[in-house]
Amino acid sequence: QSALTQPASVSGSPGQSITISCTGTSSDVGSYNLVSWYQQHPGKAPKLMIYEVSKRPSGVSNHFSGSKSGNTASLTISGLQADDEADYYCCSYAGNSYVFGTGTKVTVL
Looking at residue 31, its amino acid is S
Beta partners for 89?
A: 38
Q: Is 3 in the site for another protein (CB under 8 A)?
A: yes
Interface map 38-77 toward another protein (x if CB under 8 A): x------xxxx--xx----x--------------------
Q: From 52, 44, 55, select the one nearest 83 (Cα to Cα).
A: 44
Give, for 108, the enclosing helix (H) or strand (E).
Answer: strand 104-108
Nearer to another protein, 13 or 96 (CB): 96
Chain positions contacting another protein, by CB under 8 A = 1, 3, 32-34, 36, 38, 45-48, 51-52, 57, 89, 91, 93, 96-103
